[in-house]
């Protein structure tokens, strides 16, 4: 096993003791300062020279530094020491909601409790005009704490690295992480307006929260396509399946289902205005709002496709939102299958997103002609002359046919008359 050169290093008085885990852009260490133990998140050394990733870390630290809430991970310090970009945060003992869902479904009462805590935290961020922008089970951490009343599960929201400030702060003139038409997010939880790259606001988090709540109650997301292109199109165009359609034997209170569907509306104007309003709408519901009518739970089919953050390029967005794109109506399964088949045949668009999210082989254009030949064919004139230039008039054609019939009749009559002569 390769020795980690960061172990034992000191950053602003925090000594790195051991490695806890790593992700696409960061590595987390257990560190100490005096008698305190913390977690230190460091930008991957191989990526340290990428300015955009450094800005992401700084953005995460500034966002979290403003959000002092019991359900949001607490940030103690951040900075750059000898080209090492780091964030110091409270050390959490527990597991992510994603890790729990990979093993088993969550009972309804616990699901609603977790969701209320998530919306409490995101609602607090919304009051500070901050959009989380990447709300998903992997960014929901479950901590179990001992209290006088017994063990209590506490929710902590992680990773505001994709946060977009609605108000431009005093440290930067930039108010957005997107650049030159690129958009960022996690495909399985992205709101339609986030996919298309238009201006998004607090309601994008409401949509992601709706996907999360749907997943907690149905034990599957509303859209579970393996290919990223299909998944993004579904968020844009496909209707949300009912809970009964998503999970056999699942019965959800009609009022609760309406709340979830409101959060998942395609049009932001039809959603809750912010996470706080979404949370208030859940207040009246408890475990009795969800029940299973089957003695045996259905087989789990949970997919991990589309659950990592990606960058969607402008050309990919254009292909997804073009005028001839697939729009699946509220039709039957046959119509949906035909629409999906049509989408599958459409040429793919390249992207710099991680390959594990959307492992699509290169698909060539339907035409086998080289570009020059296709251009020539597209600009060439028709081999059929336009009306009035070399094409017969319908009336002339009818007259010729009538004259022919008269001549044929005359010949027949002459032949018959000849047989009657003596």
User: Catalytic residue positions?
Assistant: 134
70 secondary structure, DSSP code = T
- Give the C-alpha separation, 213 to 207, whole Å: 10
For the chain, the farthest-separated pair of C-alpha atoms sits apart, in whole angstroms, at: 139
**Is residue 135 within 8 Å of residue 221, measured between CB atoms?**
no
Phi, psi of 200 (to 5 degrees): -115, 160
Percent helix, strand, coil in the chain, to 5, is 40, 20, 40
Query: In whole angstroms, how large is the CA radius of gyration of the chain?
Result: 31
- Give the C-alpha separation, 72 to 61, whole Å: 12
Q: Kindly compute the dihedral angle of the four CA atoms of residues 277, 281, 287, 288, in this order, to the nearest 10 degrees.
A: 180
**Is residue 347 within 8 Å of residue 363, measured between CB atoms?**
yes
Phi, psi of 164 (to 5 degrees): -115, 125
Helix axes 333-345, 228-237, angle to 10 degrees: 130
């Amino acid at each position: 096993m390769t020795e980690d050169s960061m172990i034992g290093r000191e950053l602003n008085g925090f000594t790195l003791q051991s490695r806890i885990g790593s992700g696409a852009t960061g590595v987390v260490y257990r560190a100490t300062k005096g008698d305190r133990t913390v977690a230190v998140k460091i930008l991957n050394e191989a990526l340290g020279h990428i300015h955009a990733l450094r800005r992401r870390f700084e953005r995460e630290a500034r966002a979290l530094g403003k959000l002092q809430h019991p359900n949001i991970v607490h940030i103690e310090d951040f900075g750059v020491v000898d080209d090492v970009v780091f964030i110091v945060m409270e050390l959490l003992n527990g597991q992510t909601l994603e890790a729990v869902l990979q093993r088993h479904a969550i009972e309804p009462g616990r699901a609603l409790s977790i969701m209320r805590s998530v919306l409490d935290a995101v609602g607090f961020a919304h009051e500070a005009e901050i959009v989380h922008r990447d709300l998903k089970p992997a960014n929901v951490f479950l901590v179990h704490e001992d209290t006088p009343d017994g063990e209590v599960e506490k929710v902590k929201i992680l990773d505001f690295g994709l946060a977009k400030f609605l108000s431009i702060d005093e440290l930067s003139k930039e108010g957005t992480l997107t650049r030159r038409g690129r958009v960022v997010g996690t495909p399985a939880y992205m709101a339609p307006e986030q996919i298309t790259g238009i201006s998004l606001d607090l309601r994008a988090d409401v949509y992601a929260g709706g996907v999360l709540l749907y997943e907690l109650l149905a034990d599957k997301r509303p859209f579970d396509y393996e290919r990223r292109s299909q998944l993004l199109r579904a968020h844009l165009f496909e209707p949300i399946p009912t809970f009964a359609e998503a999970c056999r034997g699942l019965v959800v209170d009609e009022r609760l289902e309406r709340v979830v569907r409101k959060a998942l509306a395609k049009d932001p104007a039809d959603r809750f205005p912010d996470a706080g309003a979404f949370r208030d709408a859940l207040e009246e519901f408890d475990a009795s709002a969800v029940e299973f009518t089957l003695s045996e739970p259905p087989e789990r089919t949970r997919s991990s496709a589309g659950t990592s953050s990606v960058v969607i390029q402008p050309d990919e967005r254009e292909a997804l939102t073009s005028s001839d794109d697939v729009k699946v109506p509220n039709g039957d399964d046959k119509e949906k299958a035909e629409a999906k088949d049509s989408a599958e045949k459409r040429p793919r668009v390249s992207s710099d997103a991680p390959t594990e999210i959307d492992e699509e082989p290169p698909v060539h254009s339907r035409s086998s002609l080289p570009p020059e030949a296709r251009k020539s064919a597209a600009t060439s004139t028709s081999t059929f002359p336009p009306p009035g230039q070399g094409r017969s008039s319908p009336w002339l054609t009818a007259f010729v046919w009538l004259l022919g019939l008269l001549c044929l009749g005359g010949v027949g009559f002459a032949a018959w008359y000849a047989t009657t002569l003596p």
